[in-house]
């Protein structure tokens, strides 16, 4: 329904303006669309006038024109119309499907009813809904327009001074920094090796060799009985139970996704969380400031919270890690438990490693 | 008295340097000597696997060189024998992470404390070999009775002779198959020694136990029944200066072989 000079950006899954601006600028940056007309799919999210203006000026700064907005939110539709932007109601998939099935004779009576241009339906519906918008929303819009007018009075041109407007908008929302309580903790970054407290042996040199045993690291243990689990496999689980664990701070950090197998000798370092879709072979190493999640067999070394976060976690579909390190806690795999390289998927038991009283313990995922 | 630093080298890959290092080290520790094994194969480490110490390594030789830890912290003690220690190589770096002087320093420090410092050398004659040989005062050249391995061993012996520190070098013939030698399909041990004109320190027969022991992470020396294990213990004894005769590796094992041997003698 749109030809070549249009560029359709689907923002239906975005909920906040920040998200929309972020993904929109990414989409515009990655491809060259200068001179194209942008079709913004917004679905039901509500945008006030200043937000809409900032999006428009963002698009114009990339040399494009915001031509059409697809929305089912009547308030957003009205604001867009005020700004001389075309408004359309998104065509639901159901309509398309019935078009296809309309050739089927069984559905003939329905096909007559639906055999209209989808554009007509959209326009009619949008205009119909316009006047049903509630008073509160209109009042809200009025306030937003007032803000915009204030800006104009202050000599700010909203189209050119995009950053100023963004500031205005961001003041209305809580910043992510305000939500995270201990940001300063992360700024006290020590290199992972320095942060380890090995017992300092300051006696004579010869005794140091005898005391070398003290440096040996403990084994990680399972916090549940493995044999018992197999019996309880069909135990009924209350899926509607509310989670008791408080969300971990590191979850708010950025996440790196790796879609490949990590091989021997490869190091993966990340300043947030890490998700690996693949196996981690023996001899590989993962160091992350946040959590580590491996969608596969973890056989290498994993160091979660490598800058001192002891609440970090390591998860894997099959935990076979040579060593697990969380914060400054170290643990190793028990002797003689190495499972061979090729593993049948039937013995996968997803596990999570956490630090309990300075010891690394393995929990079955979702086990409290 | 300072201990001796023995480098185990071959030139060619796959002849059994690492297996030899692990077994001689374990055998020497069993004999009551304090032994440290140094893996210099940075980036392709295997010695830790053969000893079953993979999960205990926190610091490596690169960490020691780059002063992230003390030398003592990087030494990993063996599971069974407290006399045996391992200084592991880093898996995530390459040979250029360490240079010859640094390795010489490490060897010098370790030989004050240990009776034997065994250095497992990587294949080739590049940086890795130069590093491994730097601190050594003795060498064991591992070879197999094949032309390619012998040629590489010859090259290595030439390089060792030109090194100042290395006082003596001895030959270890690995993976010998008595049956093939008898049928003239494989070079005999005597031929190898003659070609290389070098002292012999031991002959190790081909043994399937080596494969299983490598996978288990336990040196074959711990298996008393294994022929290769016995041969390695003998090599260890010769290192300490004991005079041990060569193991009779071509002893017929089954009844049919015994009859064959009987008739062969008559003819």
**What integer pLDDT is reported at residue B176 of this predicted model?**
92
- pLDDT tier, A30 (very low <50, low <70, confident <90, very high otherwise): low
| A246's tokens | 């408080």
Pick the residue of B36, B91, B114 with the most A CBs within 10 A to test the interface with A by mutation: B91
Of residues B52, B69, B113, nearest to A209 (C-beta): B113
DSSP letter at B125? S
Closest CA to B119 of B154, B163, B155: B163
- Do the Cβ atoms of B10 and B141 come closer than 8 Å? yes
What is the full per-residue pLDDT of chain B (267 aa) written as tens digits?
688 999 999 989 999 999 999 999 999 999 999 999 999 999 999 999 999 998 889 899 999 999 999 999 899 999 889 999 999 999 988 889 999 999 999 999 999 999 999 999 999 999 999 999 999 999 999 999 999 999 999 999 999 999 888 999 999 999 999 888 888 888 889 999 999 999 999 999 999 999 888 888 899 998 888 889 999 999 999 999 988 888 776 655 677 777 776 777 665
Q: Is the pLDDT of residue A328 over 80?
A: yes
- Do the Cβ atoms of B28 and B169 come closer than 8 Å? no
The full length of chain A comes to 368
The C-alpha atoms of residue A313 and residue A306 are separated, in whole angstroms, by: 11
Domain ranges of chain A: 6-173, 213-364
Q: Is the pLDDT of residue A209 over 60?
A: no
| A49's tokens | 């006038």
The ipTM (two decimal places) reads 0.78
Q: Please report the beta strands in chain B, taking only residues with DSSP state E, as ranges in sequence order.
A: 4-9, 35-39, 75-77, 84-87, 116-120, 138-143, 168-176, 200-205
**What integer pLDDT is reported at residue A147 of this predicted model?**
60
CA angle B40, A283, A259 (to 5 degrees): 145
Closest CA to A304 of A335, A329, A277: A329
**What integer pLDDT is reported at residue B120 of this predicted model?**
96
- pLDDT tier, A33 (very low <50, low <70, confident <90, very high otherwise): low
To the nearest whole Å, the CA of B219 is away from the closest chain A CA by 14
Instruction: Give me chain A's average pLDDT, please.
Output: 68
Instruction: Encode A245-263: b = buried (16+ Cβ within 10 Å), e = exposed.
Output: eeebbbeebebbebeeebe
CATH architecture of the domain with residue range B4-266: 3-Layer(aba) Sandwich (3.40)
Q: Which positions ≥6 away from B132 have C-beta within 8 Å?
A: B7, B9, B40, B103, B119, B120, B121, B122
- A279 vs A39, higher pLDDT: A279
DSSP letter at A209? H
**What integer pLDDT is reported at residue B202 of this predicted model?**
93
The C-alpha atoms of residue B201 and residue B171 are separated, in whole angstroms, by: 6
**What integer pLDDT is reported at residue A134 of this predicted model?**
52
The C-alpha atoms of residue A133 and residue B77 are separated, in whole angstroms, by: 76
User: CB-hemisphere CA count at 13 Å for B97?
Assistant: 19
Q: B77 at the A interface (CB within 8 A)?
A: yes
Q: Is the pLDDT of residue A88 over 90?
A: no
- Do the Cβ atoms of A331 and A341 come closer than 8 Å? no
- B250 vs A49, higher pLDDT: A49
The C-alpha atoms of residue A85 and residue A91 are separated, in whole angstroms, by: 18
**What integer pLDDT is reported at residue B234 of this predicted model?**
94
- Do the Cβ atoms of A314 and A326 come closer than 8 Å? yes
| B181's tokens | 């030698």
DSSP letter at B96? G
**What integer pLDDT is reported at residue B186 of this predicted model?**
87
Q: How many CB atoms lie within 10 A of CB B66?
A: 15
Distances (CA, A) of B223 to B21, B24, B77, B173, B202: 16, 13, 20, 21, 19
Q: pLDDT tens digits for A145-166?
A: 666 556 555 555 545 556 666 6
The C-alpha atoms of residue B16 and residue A27 are separated, in whole angstroms, by: 56
Pick the residue of A283, A320, A324, A325 with the most B CBs within 10 A to test the interface with B by mutation: A283
| A286's tokens | 């993962």
Q: B259 at the A interface (CB within 8 A)?
A: no
Q: What are residue A360's DSSP bridge partners?
A: A355
The C-alpha atoms of residue A40 and residue A334 are separated, in whole angstroms, by: 56
Q: How many CB atoms lie within 10 A of CB A226?
A: 10
| Percentage with pLDDT > 90 across chain A | 9
The C-alpha atoms of residue B247 and residue A126 are separated, in whole angstroms, by: 96
Interface of B with A in 214-253 (CB under 8 A): 217
Q: pLDDT tens digits for A266-305?
A: 999 988 899 999 989 888 999 999 899 999 889 899 999 9
Q: Which positions ≥6 away from A2 have C-beta within 8 Å?
A: A8, A39
| B46's tokens | 């295997």
Q: Which helix (H) or strand (E) holds A256?
A: strand A255-258
- A65 vs B12, higher pLDDT: B12
Q: Which fold has domain A213-364?
A: Pectate Lyase C-like (2.160.20)
**What integer pLDDT is reported at residue B240 of this predicted model?**
93
- pLDDT tier, A346 (very low <50, low <70, confident <90, very high otherwise): low
Q: Which helix (H) or strand (E) holds A228?
A: helix A226-231
Q: What are residue A66's DSSP bridge partners?
A: A38
Domain ranges of chain B: 4-266
Q: B2 at the A interface (CB within 8 A)?
A: no
Interface of A with B in 278-297 (CB under 8 A): 282-283, 285
Q: pLDDT tens digits for A106-138?
A: 443 333 333 334 444 444 444 434 444 455 665
The C-alpha atoms of residue B155 and residue B217 are separated, in whole angstroms, by: 32
3-class SS of residue B145: coil
**What integer pLDDT is reported at residue A159 of this predicted model?**
53
- Do the Cβ atoms of A180 and A249 come closer than 8 Å? yes
Of residues B56, B77, B92, nearest to A267 (C-beta): B92
Interface of A with B in 343-362 (CB under 8 A): none
Q: How many CB atoms lie within 10 A of CB A144?
A: 20
The C-alpha atoms of residue B132 and residue B6 are separated, in whole angstroms, by: 10
- pLDDT tier, A181 (very low <50, low <70, confident <90, very high otherwise): very low
| A204's tokens | 């004579």
| Percentage with pLDDT > 70 across chain A | 51
Task: Scan for tokens 């203006």, then name that residue.
Answer: A53
Q: pLDDT tens digits for A8-20?
A: 777 777 667 777 7
């Amino acid at each position: 329904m749109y030809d070549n000079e249009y560029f359709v950006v689907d923002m239906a899954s975005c909920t906040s303006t920040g998200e929309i601006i972020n993904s929109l600028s990414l989409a515009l940056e990655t491809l060259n669309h200068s001179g194209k007309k942008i079709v913004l799919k917004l679905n039901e999210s509500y945008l006030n006038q200043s937000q809409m203006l900032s999006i428009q000026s963002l698009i114009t700064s990339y040399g494009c024109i915001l031509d059409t907005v697809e929305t089912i939110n009547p308030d957003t539709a009205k604001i867009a119309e005020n700004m001389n932007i075309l408004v359309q109601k998104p065509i639901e998939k159901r309509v398309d499907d019935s078009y296809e099935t309309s050739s089927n004779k069984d559905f003939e009576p329905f096909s007559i009813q639906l055999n209209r241009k989808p554009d007509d339906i959209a326009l009619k519906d949008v205009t119909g809904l316009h006047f049903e918008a509630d008073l509160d929303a209109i009042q809200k819009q009025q306030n937003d327009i007032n803000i915009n007018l204030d800006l104009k009075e202050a000599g700010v041109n909203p189209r050119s001074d995009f950053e100023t407007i963004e500031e205005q908008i961001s003041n209305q929302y809580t910043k992510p920094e305000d939500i995270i309580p201990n940001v300063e903790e992360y700024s006290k970054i020590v290199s992972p090796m320095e942060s380890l407290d090995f017992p300092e042996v300051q006696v004579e040199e010869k005794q140091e060799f005898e005391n070398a045993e003290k440096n040996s690291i403990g084994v990680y243990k399972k916090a549940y009985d493995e044999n018992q689990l197999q019996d309880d496999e069909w135990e009924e689980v209350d899926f509607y139970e509310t989670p008791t664990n408080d969300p971990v701070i590191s979850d708010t950090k950025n996440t790196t996704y790796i879609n490949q197998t990590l091989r021997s000798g490869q190091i993966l370092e990340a300043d947030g969380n890490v998700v690996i879709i693949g196996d981690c072979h023996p001899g590989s190493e993962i160091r992350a400031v946040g959590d580590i999640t491996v969608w596969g067999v973890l056989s290498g070394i994993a160091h979660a919270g490598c800058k001192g976060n002891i609440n970090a976690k390591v998860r894997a579909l099959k935990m076979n890690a040579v060593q697990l390190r969380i914060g400054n806690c170290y643990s190793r795999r028990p002797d003689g438990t190495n499972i061979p390289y090729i593993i049948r998927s039937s013995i996968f038991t997803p596990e999570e490693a956490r630090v309990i009283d300075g010891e690394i313990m393995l929990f079955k995922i979702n086990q409290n | 008295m300072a201990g001796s630093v023995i480098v185990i080298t071959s030139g060619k890959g796959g002849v059994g340097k690492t297996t030899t290092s692990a077994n001689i080290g374990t055998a020497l520790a069993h004999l009551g000597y304090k032994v440290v094994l140094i893996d210099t194969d940075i980036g392709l480490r295997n010695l830790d696997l053969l000893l079953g110490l993979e999960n205990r390594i926190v610091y490596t030789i690169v960490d020691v060189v780059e002063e992230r830890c003390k030398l003592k912290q990087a030494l990993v003690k063996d599971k069974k024998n407290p006399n045996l220690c391992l200084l592991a190589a880093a898996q995530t770096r390459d040979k250029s992470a360490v240079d010859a002087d640094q390795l010489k320093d490490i060897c010098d420090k370790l030989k004050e404390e240990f009776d034997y410092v065994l250095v497992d050398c990587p294949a080739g004659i590049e940086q890795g070999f130069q590093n491994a040989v730097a601190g050594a005062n003795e060498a064991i050249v591992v070879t197999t009775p094949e032309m390619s391995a012998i040629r590489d061993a010859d090259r290595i012996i030439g390089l060792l002779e030109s090194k100042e520190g290395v006082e003596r070098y001895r030959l270890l013939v690995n993976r010998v198959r008595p049956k093939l030698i008898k049928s003239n399909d494989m070079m005999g041990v005597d031929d190898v020694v003659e070609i290389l004109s070098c002292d012999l320190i031991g002959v190790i027969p081909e043994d399937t136990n080596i494969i299983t022991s490598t996978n288990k992470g336990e040196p074959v020396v711990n298996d008393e029944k294994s022929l290769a294990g016995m041969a390695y213990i003998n090599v260890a004894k010769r290192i300490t200066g004991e005079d041990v005769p060569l193991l009779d590796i071509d002893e017929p094992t089954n009844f049919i072989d015994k009859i064959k041997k009987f008739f062969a003698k008559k003819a």
